[in-house]
Amino acid sequence: MELDKIERLLERYFEGETTLSEEEKLRAYFSQGEVAQHLEQYAPLFSYFSTSKEEKFTKSIPLSQKNTKSTWSYKWLSVAAVTVLLLGVYFGKSYQDEKQLEKQRARYAYEETKKALDLLAQNFERGTEKVAYLNEFVEAKDKVYNKN
């Protein structure tokens, strides 16, 4: 009967549903000499918890006051570093935005100039046709004036 109860407690223990008093019963069972053969694999686990509970830290911890001046200087140095970093990011971003805007303006100016030069080239071709007619007029005029 007790073995069945221990097995149920073990199942609840591994599910994380046991209380402190139930865990104490498990430790007491596994610390005694008689443990069921199929449960012997859990004995080192509970014996470890029993022995580690009794361990104590015996070394002394030296408590010394730190140099407050150097501590403050490190704090202010870190604040200054963060400030410089944030300013660099802010001004770097505005510089990049300015460069991007300048590139967009230059691209727009290029496209408008290209349109204007295309329009000029089209009108220039029409103008050369008119100059050819004008050249014929001049030749005809010279013929008229030279004969008279």
Q: Which residues of the chain have pLDDT under 70?
A: 1, 49-50, 65-71, 127-132, 147-148
CA dist., res. 7 & res. 49, Å (int): 19
Q: What is the pTM of this model?
A: 0.37
Q: Which whole-number Å values give the CA distances from 42 to 27, 28, 77, 124, in the listed order?
A: 10, 13, 54, 101
Query: What pLDDT is stored for residue 130 in this prediction?
Result: 67
Query: What pLDDT is stored for residue 99 in this prediction?
Result: 92
Helix (H) or strand (E) holding 145: helix 68-147
Query: What pLDDT is stored for residue 60 in this prediction?
Result: 83
Question: 41 near 24, Cβ under 8 Å?
Answer: no
